[in-house]
């Protein structure tokens, strides 16, 4: 039962929020993808993102650092289009507020953006893996979701933008480390 509860959002929300085409996204917000706003990357956005990702070609670690910066550009574009800056984390009781995002919204949007990077050939050392989650109430943690990258050695990396306000740098860390965290508000 707990496994089903953890996997259901991973299956349903991408279907509800849709996938990104070349440069157009349906950005989820309002908690649980309640609202969806169409966001298109401008030519300047695409150029800036390509330049950032080019700076990460030297190694997997450099590419992960570039991904952090590129996600910030993507989130700033989202803020500009939606017109509201997402506050960090989530505030209970504030669902259905346009522009505010829970971890489901954040991980869905980040996953779409990472898939855009992959589709356009901007990821050289990583591929996009399935989103993941941690926490199940029983273990003392609230369920939390993240986008995931996989390097060529098969190592998985969490890309979690939930802890910062919109446009802030996401956490990029080993998924195994990310799974161990989340107790008492820990990142």
- Phi/psi at 183 (nearest 5 deg)? -90, 135
Distance CA 61, CA 57 (A): 9
| Average pLDDT score over the chain | 86
pLDDT in tens, 5-22: 444 444 444 444 444 445
Taking 90 as the threshold, does the pLDDT of residue 88 lie above it?
no
Nearest 5°: the CA angle 11, 88, 59 is 70
Taking 90 as the threshold, does the pLDDT of residue 120 lie above it?
yes
pLDDT in tens, 23-35: 899 999 998 999 9
Taking 90 as the threshold, does the pLDDT of residue 72 lie above it?
yes
DSSP state, residue 183:
G
DSSP state, residue 84:
S
pTM, two decimals, is 0.85
The structure tokens listed for 125 are: 């050392």
Kindly state the percentage of the chain with pLDDT values over 70: 83
pLDDT score of 158: 98
Kindly state the percentage of the chain with pLDDT values over 90: 64
The structure tokens listed for 11 are: 């299956």
Average pLDDT over residues 128-148: 91
Q: What is the CA radius of gyration of the chain?
A: 15
- Evaluate whether 68 touches 160 at the Cβ level (below 8 Å): no
Q: Is the dihedral of CA 24, 155, 173, 102 positive or negative?
A: positive
Q: Is the dihedral of CA 157, 127, 129, 44 positive or negative?
A: positive
Average pLDDT over residues 26-48: 94
């Amino acid at each position: 039962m707990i496994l089903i509860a953890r996997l259901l959002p991973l299956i349903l929300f991408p279907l509800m929020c849709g996938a990104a085409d070349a440069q157009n996204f349906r950005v989820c917000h309002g908690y649980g993808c309640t609202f969806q706003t169409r966001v298109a990357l401008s030519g300047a956005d695409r150029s800036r993102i390509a330049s950032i990702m080019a700076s990460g070609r030297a190694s997997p670690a450099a590419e992960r650092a570039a991904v952090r910066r590129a996600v910030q550009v993507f989130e700033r574009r989202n803020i500009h289009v939606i017109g509201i800056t997402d506050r960090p984390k989530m505030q209970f009781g504030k669902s259905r507020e346009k522009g505010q995002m829970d971890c489901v919204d954040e991980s869905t949007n980040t996953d779409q953006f990472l898939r855009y990077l992959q589709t356009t050939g901007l990821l050289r050392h990583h591929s996009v893996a399935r989103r993941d989650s941690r926490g199940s109430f029983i273990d003392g943690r609230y369920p939390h979701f993240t986008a995931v990258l996989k390097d060529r050695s098969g190592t998985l990396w969490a890309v979690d933008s939930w802890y910062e306000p919109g446009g802030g740098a996401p956490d990029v860390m080993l998924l195994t480390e990310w799974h161990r965290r989340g107790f008492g508000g820990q990142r």
